[in-house]
Structures are given as C-alpha cells and as structure tokens.
Chains A and B, each alone.
Chain A
Amino acid sequence: MPAISLIVGPQHPALHEAERFLFKVEGETVIDVIPRIGYMHRGIEKLMETKTFIEGLYLAERICGICNVAHTLCFAEAVEQAADVEVPPRAKYLRVIAHELNRLHSHLLLLGVAAELMGFETLFMLFWRDRELVMSLFEELTGNRVISAYVRVGGVTRDISPALVDKMKDKLPKLYKRIERYKKVLSEDPTFTTRTMDVGYISGSKLLALGAVGPTIRGSGVKIDLRYTDPYEAYDEIPFKVITYKEGDSWARYMVRVDECLELINIILYALDHLPQGPICTKVPRTIEGKGEGRVEAPRGEVLHHTIWRGGVTPWRHRVRTPTYANIPGVCEMFKGYHVADIPVILGSIDPCFACTDRTTVMLLDAKSGTRKTMTIGEIKKKYWRR
C-alpha cells in the first residue's frame, strides 16, 4: 500500500498552539513524522543581550505563560550565581511554594485538556473547576492569576500573610482528596485507559539517548528529576519522593503527573510548616562579572538558563533551553506504529508548549533506508503539497 502524507497543523493537533506535523500514513498506521515547529520564534536570546537584569527578568517570564515561575526562577538563579549573591532562606521557601503552586496548576490544566482530547468532557470540567481553586490561591500569593511576577533577582517581591497560610493549609488537603479520587478514575475508567494504555510506548534508554526530560522520561522508569538530581533553592531540605512509572506508554506519562500533583501538595504543606523567619530580598550589584547556570525542573521538564556577564549592565550571552525542545525528538519516535486517532493523545502526553520551544525545524526521516536529510519549506511544498 502506498504511503499517504497527512498534514496536521499549523493549528492545534493537541493544544491550541501553532505547530505542524507531517505524518506519512499507510492505511491507518503512522510510519513517519516530520515536525515543523517554530512558528513562534521571537529572537529572545539576542534581545536579552540588550537588557539589564531587571528588564530581562520580565522578558524571561514571557518565554512561556504557563510555567512562568520556572522561567523567572531559573533566570534569577543564573544571575544570582553570576553575581555571587546568596538568597535569604525565607525567600527560598517562598519561591518553592510559588513554584509548586504553578506546577499544580499546569498539571491540572494538562490533565483537563487530555480528558477533553479523549472526549471525556465531564472530567475536563471537573479538573478545571479544581484548578480554579489553585488559581485563586496563586492570585492571593503573587497578585495575578497566571503571569505572577513573583520572583525577583535576589529574592521575592512580597511576603506571605498568616491568613493566607491558614487558608492554604485548609484548602490544599481538600484538593488532595479530590485528586486522589481522580487518580482512581484515571486508572480504572475504561474511557481513559483504553485510549492511553499501550499507546505511544518508548523505552527509557531510547529516551535517554534522545535527550528527553521531565515527566516524559519519568514515565519510562528513569529516575531523573532536577529537584532530586541537582537540588536548587530549598529542595535539599524538603523530603519528597520522585515519581516514576515503568510502563512507558501514554497512560504512564499522564499518571506521573497525577502522582506529582499529590506529592507537591505535601511539599507545599511541608514548606508552609517550616517557613523560616527573616528578610525576603537582598541587594544585587548593578554591574556583574561572572557566569551562572540556572537549572530548574519546570512542569514539563528541565529548563536551563545559561548566562555569561563580562562586566557592564547587560549580559554577554544568554542561552535558554526549554523542555519541549528537548522532548521533540522523543515524541516523533513515539508516533511510529500507532494509529492516526492516537496522535492527539500521544502529543498531549508530553505536555507540549511550543511558545516555550520558539525554534524552527524541518527534518525529513526516510523510514525505509533510515537516513535523514533536510528540506526547505519550498521543497516540501513542491513535493507534498499538491493543490
């Protein structure tokens, strides 16, 4: 049977963002994938070289809206390392609380979207109603629902009030019980399990070679979590366990996120109990000389900000590596051998964020001979887009 090319995108295969996948299909089975990402390339790395760290912090926040705390935290970590500044302990714990609340809201968003992709709309409504609670707590802590502007270079912007601590201690255990119930639904309900179990299987060692990060690799049984492998902020003082699933299919990748939601509520409650006293911000010099490397476990995986300052008020080079960018080669391997109807489920299982990725690639994989070659968009148009 001859292969047919099927174009999905640039508008939303899974999440509502611009990217395009060209699938080569034999019958119902996908045999080859060509991703074309980077419709949102904004040149942030070059622009960062003209910004002071106060301006750069807010530019870094806009790399990705959903995991904004991870990006600001990572930027601040890198600049603090370069300037050799130690953050006060109270600020560290407050950063952990904001970071984990952000992760909770991101995971609940993805799980809701995943339920919607499978046509399970009741579960989508339930997840997003509980997400509203997290958003209102986040708004009271940071002052905004999504774009938080909470982390500053040298500390955090505002302190947590005792009333809010009580409110969190009251509300979060209730949310814990609800998520436990969702976990039961997700692991038993046939609407979910038949769509995800044994779909998009990939082994852990293959993912390691492809450089995948975050819940994607933890779903294949590899114990890599930056909070554990390279602890930052107060994570070396907080006890928690790294969630791994051995199955390696889409279901395992979703279940890693559900279990992480439960685990991070424990982290927040521990941090609220052990909040140290003291100042929340320190002074950072205006001109910096040195280099720093911030690495943070964002909801989707590892974020890396590498910054090099050679005196002056602006950085010499600022490098950003985002998790979805690292997961793209991995997800292209996952598609192969599964049906067209499984595409949204598999793509949804890596929690893609293409605004984060902000890169452009065209790759062509020849399935039969196994060679790779590059094509421009014009050549692809000529070859595949027959009008």
Chain B
Amino acid sequence: MAVESKVKKVPEKVSKFLEELRREFKDKILSVKVLTPTRAELKIVRNSHKQIIKWLRNQFAESSYLVTINTVDYIDKEYFELQYEIQLAEDDFKLHLTLKMNIPRANPEVETITDIVPGALLYECENYEMFGVRFVGHPALGKVFLPEEWPDNIYPLRKEIKLIKKIKKVR
C-alpha cells in the first residue's frame, strides 16, 4: 500500500499527516492518492467512513468542515461510489480530502453521519432522493427534494432513468 502521487513534490506536512491517518486506520484505508499539493483521495472500506470523519473532526475541531456528499452511479460495474469531501484548513496545513466508498447497487445502505456533522442533513437527504441511497439512522429521511407528487422508487439521477426527449444528436 504505497502513496501514489502525480505530484513531484508532496509537502512534508501532508505526507506526515497521511502516514498518521494510515497508521490510525490500518485495515480501513485501501489506497491513498495525492492529486495536487492540497488535494488527496482515499479509498476506504464500506461503513468505515463514520470513524474516519469522527477522528478528523476531533483532530481539527476548529478548522475543518464537510464540503459535500456526492454519489456516482456506475451501472456497468454494479455499484454506487459515495464521496465524502472534507476540507482541513489550518494556517500552515491545508488539505482537501475525498473519502471514496463503494456500496453495492442492489442494497445501498450506509450509516448516517448527522450525529457527528449536523451539516450533513441536507446532503444525505439529497442523495437519498436522487439515488435511493438509504442512510441508516438519519432523523428525517424522506421525500424532501422533489415535488410531493413524485412517485416512489423512482430516483431521477440513476442511470437507468432516461430523459424523455433526447435533446440533440451529438455528432
């Protein structure tokens, strides 16, 4: 498990922090990739996101926030990819971390993080509404984003849902 990187010069603090993170969660982190001096990407085991985010929020209580939660639908590989994006911003150490986690398409269930980060409330609702990813333990998961008349079990951003009218044939 080596740190992959496209960047020729990784700052010392970033590499030190990533080593510490890997020591803390030895069997939870699958791979680490440094994209730019201020951005890094972690692949983690399913349902380990809660511990890692809790650890990060405790470590950087006054200087970190959850940027967003994002889902990507890989219909050909039969899984969803959940991305938790966290910004760490101290005066001399800045890093944008992306935690990537695969969950099976047949049973998309993950633990909620709203009890650690209350700001995740809207993002989790959105991902449930658009992709059908169920967040276990979320206090108010339901039909919230789309109109009330929207039918159940149709998640608009999934790949099997097609637009009714194809806008334009691309050459």
Partners in one complex: yes
Partner-B contacts on A (CB < 8 A): 38, 41, 43, 45-47, 50-52, 204-205, 208-213, 222-224, 229-231, 293, 295, 302, 304, 306, 308, 313-314, 316-317, 319, 321, 325-326, 328-330, 359-364, 371-374, 376-378
Knowing A45-B157, A46-B156, A316-B72 touch, does A361 contact B62 (C-beta < 8 A)? no
Q: Would A295 and B121 count as touching, CB distance under 8 A? A: no
Q: In the complex, what distance in Å separates the CA atom of A211 from the CA atom of B167?
A: 36
Q: Would B63 and A359 count as touching, CB distance under 8 A? A: no
Cross-interface CB contact of B145 among A47, A51, A223, A360, cutoff 8 Å: A360
Q: In the complex, what distance in Å separates the CA atom of A223 from the CA atom of B94?
A: 12
Partner-A contacts on B (CB < 8 A): 38-39, 61-68, 70, 72-73, 83, 85, 87, 89, 91, 94, 96, 98, 117-122, 125-126, 130, 139-148, 156-157, 163, 166-168, 170
| 25 A-B contact pairs sorted by A residue (CB < 8 Å) | A41-B145, A41-B146, A43-B156, A45-B130, A46-B163, A208-B65, A209-B119, A210-B118, A210-B119, A211-B65, A211-B67, A211-B117, A231-B38, A302-B67, A304-B67, A304-B68, A314-B170, A319-B70, A321-B70, A328-B122, A329-B119, A361-B144, A363-B121, A373-B139, A377-B148
Q: In the complex, what distance in Å separates the CA atom of A204 from the CA atom of B64?
A: 11
Knowing A46-B163, A50-B167, A205-B62 touch, does A317 contact B89 (C-beta < 8 A)? no
Q: Would B61 and A205 count as touching, CB distance under 8 A? A: yes
Residues of chain A lying within 8 A (CB to CB) of residue B121: 329, 363, 372
Q: In the complex, what distance in Å separates the CA atom of A320 from the CA atom of B31?
A: 26
Q: Would B140 and A208 count as touching, CB distance under 8 A? A: no
Q: Which 3 A-B pairs have the closest CB atoms?
A: A211-B119, A374-B142, A374-B140
Knowing A293-B39, A317-B73, A376-B143 touch, does A50 contact B166 (C-beta < 8 A)? yes
Residues of chain B lying within 8 A (CB to CB) of residue A46: 156-157, 163
Cross-interface CB contact of B140 among A51, A321, A372, cutoff 8 Å: A372
Q: Which residue of B lies closest to A291 (CB)?
A: B72
Q: Would B145 and A361 count as touching, CB distance under 8 A? A: yes
Residues of chain B lying within 8 A (CB to CB) of residue A304: 67-68, 85
Q: Would B147 and A360 count as touching, CB distance under 8 A? A: yes
Q: Which residue of A lies closest to B125 (CB)?
A: A361
CB distance from A209 to the nearest CB of B (A): 6
Residues of chain A lying within 8 A (CB to CB) of residue B98: 293
Cross-interface CB contact of B63 among A222, A231, A321, A376, cutoff 8 Å: A222
Cross-interface CB contact of A372 among B62, B139, B146, B156, cutoff 8 Å: B139
Q: Which residue of B lies closest to A52 (CB)?
A: B170
Cross-interface CB contact of A224 among B72, B89, B118, cutoff 8 Å: B89
Residues of chain A lying within 8 A (CB to CB) of residue B64: 208
Cross-interface CB contact of B91 among A41, A208, A223, A306, cutoff 8 Å: A223
Q: In the complex, what distance in Å separates the CA atom of A357 from the CA atom of B87?
A: 21
Known pairs A209-B65, A326-B68; list 9 more (Cβ under 8 Å).
A47-B163, A204-B62, A209-B119, A231-B38, A306-B83, A313-B170, A329-B119, A361-B145, A371-B139
Q: In the complex, what distance in Å separates the CA atom of A230 from the CA atom of B37?
A: 9
Q: Would A223 and B67 count as touching, CB distance under 8 A? A: no
Q: Would B163 and A50 count as touching, CB distance under 8 A? A: yes
Q: In the complex, what distance in Å separates the CA atom of A380 from the CA atom of B63?
A: 38
Knowing A43-B156, A230-B38, A230-B96 touch, does A362 contact B144 (C-beta < 8 A)? yes
Q: In the complex, what distance in Å separates the CA atom of A293 from the CA atom of B87?
A: 13
Q: Would A230 and B68 count as touching, CB distance under 8 A? A: no
Residues of chain A lying within 8 A (CB to CB) of residue B156: 43, 46
Q: Would A223 and B89 count as touching, CB distance under 8 A? A: yes
Q: Would B117 and A209 count as touching, CB distance under 8 A? A: yes
Residues of chain B lying within 8 A (CB to CB) of residue A373: 139-140
